[in-house]
Amino acid sequence: MRRLPKLNPVLIASALALAANAAADPGGADALTSEGPVQPAKVEGGKYLDKDGNPTYRVTDGGRKVDWNTMSGYLRYNANCIACHGPDGAGSTYAPSLVEALKRDDYPTFVGIVAGGKRDVNAAQELVMPAFGENKNVMCYIDDIYVYLRARSDGVVGRGRPAEHEPRSEAFKAHEDACMG
Ligand code: HEC
């Protein structure tokens, strides 16, 4: 009968530690590497943040796989913004392209416009962006919508639904439950 090789307890301990890490942080060891011009600097509350502390995306596999926040942002964008801003943030005859807007607007500006609305009403046109500040379906996911559009704006995520995504973290669920009430 063949004897099983003796297992090295140090190796087992480090494999378990790696597995535990991977479970806590869905991105695993390469969690702070993304395609595109912006690299995540840290993960906080289940979100990727850039070096300035603003929410950012993590995209891998040649643009096919996104972090959960970007996926959530895609879904929320399609539920709340697409009617006016068109598919994929590309704009429509009625409302401007958000892919272009995010090349100028920083994170606080974006959140301010979505919460407070924006209007450009004159004799020639009547452009009204509604205020979503009281709408939990938007405001509880505002960072997600931002990172999705940021990824679109940086050209890292193409049109349509991302093919794959990282799992939803416990921290994301906790934030969602607390915010949605
Ligand atoms: C009812 C139509 C409508 C909906 C729904 C809507 N928007 Fe808008 N949005 C507009 C219009 C029109 C403007 C342009 C307003 C202006 O020029 O003053 C605008 C402007 C904006 C701007 C500023 C763009 C720039 O060029 O600086 C942002 C950011 C924005 N919208 C984000 C969103 C997001 C995110 C959602 C979904 C949560 C959303 N909008 C839903 C109509 C809409």
Give the mean model confidence (pLDDT) for residues 47-61: 96
Mutate which of 94, 129, 138, 146 for ligand 1? The one with the most ligand atoms within 8 Å of its CB, which is 129
Q: How much is the pLDDT for 46?
A: 82
Ligand 1 contacts CB of residue 139 (under 6 A): no
Tell me which residue of 16, 127, 143, 153 sits closest to 69, measured CA to CA: 143
Query: For residues 99 and 111, what is the distance between their CA atoms, to the nearest angstrom?
Result: 15
CB atoms within 10 A of CB 100: 13
Give the mean model confidence (pLDDT) for residues 146-155: 98
What band does 3 get if pLDDT is binned at 50, 70 and 90?
low
Q: Is the pLDDT of residue 164 over 90?
A: yes
Q: How much is the pLDDT for 30?
A: 62
